[in-house]
Structure 1
């Protein structure tokens, strides 16, 4: 890898855009680098973990010689503690899971799997190729969907330095960013009344 470029258009903390510069430390890694290569040596704390996830995905697609690849994930609102997750790759369904809390309860062959603790290693042992990529994207989508339960872009702005339970988890919650990072007000897109932004329309076409 000889060059790395990243851009953040929507982000939760005021310091997140600076993570694009930190990501350049990936220069020099082989395109065959795996998850452990990217997330080792404290990189997860220095970087935006979402950018690292996208970097890993880009490396895997490049290493395989894949062309343009479209990942779509749908996670409806949770009802009675349950929801259904569907993940598509280029329009084809690769994963369909019933989720109860953080646990996959269907299909039966993977029931009981937690989508957080230990998921990455579990997925690597069970899937490969695009199916593994889709599983990773699906799991990260579950993480992002958890934000629906919180007001994360309102006022008063929360200062990262006061969220001590998150210190060290990513770029904005590590020093020196954590000392100045605050909530980015207004970045959340509310689609309750429908979708009116072209850049997110594709994600719900299925």
Structure 2
């Protein structure tokens, strides 16, 4: 069994970029407009999500309005408090902002993370259809190849990647990092949860709403043998033919 994630980013016009993200647990979309080097409007859409509160996270995403475009996708976490955002919509917004900054028209990430054996796995990321990153991982540690060997996924990796890698590679590395971390959700039956846990790390898991963020049972899908289905429903929207 594989955990799969696909991210597609497409420039609809000179001032709007749309992006979609789909994996075993999530399906989100983000559209951002920009002018004069700044974000002017943001829309988030939740199509498939683990908790009933997740769609409401589209509202705090609008706190990115006014942010200057940046070559570093992770910069969104310095502009707004990630703990009060949907992790995945915020990640997607950061990727859109970085894409707008480098004036790219299209970007696609495909990630595959096999289920672990003896707490080990080999995670792969393809960028625009071509192999780009492959990591051997044990527990939370990347064991190879250099320069990633010895980097802990859970402790300081974002700062390390931004300081030591090119903007393009650090972006891809953090996309792969997120996927490796959340792939572990395949190791348990998430539908046994009644509601989100009050961990305070994202919008739905804030203690003030966690008990009301009811688990959406049956929302986990398996794309092991069907990678072509990821984001397949978004093609019309991605090219600007509809507004929602």
TM-score (normalised: structure 2): 0.72
Pick aligned residue for 2:161 from 105, 114, 123: 123
Uncovered stretches (5+) of structure 1, i.e. residues with no partner: 202-206
Q: Which residue of 2 aligns with 1:195?
A: 226
Query: 2 CA distance for matches of 1:82 and 1:63?
Result: 36
Pick aligned residue for 1:144 from 147, 165, 182: 182
Instruction: Give the drift of 1:92.
Output: 2.0
1:159 matches 2:195: yes
Uncovered stretches (5+) of structure 2, i.e. residues with no partner: 1-38, 233-244
**What is the aligned-residue RMSD (CA, Å)?**
2.2
Higher helix residue share: 1
Q: Is the Cα contact below 8 Å between 1:84 and 1:98 reproduced in 2? A: yes
Higher strand residue share: 2
Query: 1 CA distance for matches of 2:74 and 2:153?
Result: 18
Instruction: Give the drift of 1:190.
Output: 2.8
The residue correspondences of 1:48-67 to structure 2 (distance < 5 A) are 48-67=86-105
Q: Which residue of 1 aligns with 2:16?
A: none
Q: Is the Cα contact below 8 Å between 1:105 and 1:111 reproduced in 2? A: yes
Query: 2 CA distance for matches of 1:27 and 1:35?
Result: 15
Pick aligned residue for 1:172 from 179, 204, 219: 204
The residue correspondences of 1:51-90 to structure 2 (distance < 5 A) are 51-90=89-128
